[in-house]
Amino acid sequence: MSSPEAPDPVRSGPIITLTLNPTVDICWDVDHLADIGKNRARVRSVVGGGGGINVARGVARLGGQALAVHTAGREVGWRLNRLLDEEGIHHIAVQIGRETREALVLLETESRRSHHIVPPGPRLDEYEGQRCLDVLGSAIGTSRYVVASGSLPGGLPDNFYAAVARRVKAAGSRLVLDTSGPALLHGLAEGVFLLRCNRTEAAELIGRVVRSFDDARAVNEHLITTGAAEVAVTTIGELGALCSTCHGHTELRAPTLPGLLLSDAGAGDGMVAALTAGLTAGDDLVTACAQGVAVAAASVLTPGTESFDPEVAEFLRRGVEITFQSSS
């Protein structure tokens, strides 16, 4: 497979991530979730979250540089900023008038089942959306890659990520998009450098269930031939991922997990972080994507929204099987 050109040394800024609907993720542990009576819980963690913020965290854990641009509103927004500062995540907050959302992750320790409960979040007005675009445009600077990840908050038009794509192109950078629903369809209409989608999102694109590498190939061929993406990466759960360009398709089979799956929250964000960090460091596309599959596998071994262990990801990378097929 032909890989993207090596990063231009002149464009060496950090990876920029955009999170329009961030969260403060609160993770609780309970021994057993009872239907009647009180459930006594222990607070496992409280961290800033949301697609792009999770990606920025993952990039940093892999030794890269990232700058997270995100919205922040009222008391929870203030708490989000404080949490990110304490964690050492470089970020720029765009102030909004309504409250940033909080999400709850409930881990039942006896069954090892995890429940991720996420509200829709605040509505943004037209002025706040424009401020996000302007701050993003100013932040890009010399950065080669911009990652737009996560859902759109209410109030923003479905084509908002298309406007993001135009800003990124105008700055001479490359957009990595990871979203769903109408926001995904409108973003692809503008065209992006790389799209990462899961089985559910992929099924929406082709109108049928995606269960296999052959199904993923149909998705990726559609994205490549229509010009929606230069690189298409479709993840297929426990099977792994298919990475495609106009030159062909690479199957990356996920490694065998050394433990129980605890939570899939953040696995996709971890993959995008590893992919983008690898490309920024000069890795070829397949190498970067294989690392992404390993990081996603490491992520599901952690409870709640906890970040992956880089050493576990490095171990799992050895078990990723890679098969290339040229385009017909």
Please list the active-site residues: 269
Task: Select from 217, 179, 233 the least CA-distant residue to 201.
Answer: 179
**Residues 291/219/21/102 CA torsion (nearest 10 deg):** -70
Q: Are 52 and 70 in contact (CB under 8 A)?
A: yes
Token pair, residue 74, equals 């009222």
Angle at 240 between CA 234 and CA 242, to 5 degrees: 40
Residues whose CB falls within 8 Å of the CB of residue 113, separated by 6 or more in sequence, listed in order: 107
Q: Which helix (H) or strand (E) holds 316?
A: helix 310-317
Backbone angles phi, psi at 130, to 5 degrees: -65, -40
Q: What kind and span of H or E run contains 94? A: strand 91-96
CA–CA gap between residue 136 and residue 288 (Å, rounded): 25
CA-based nearest residue to 107, from 289, 263, 2, 298:
263
Q: Where are the alpha helices (DSSP H) in 11-159?
A: 51-61, 74-87, 126-140
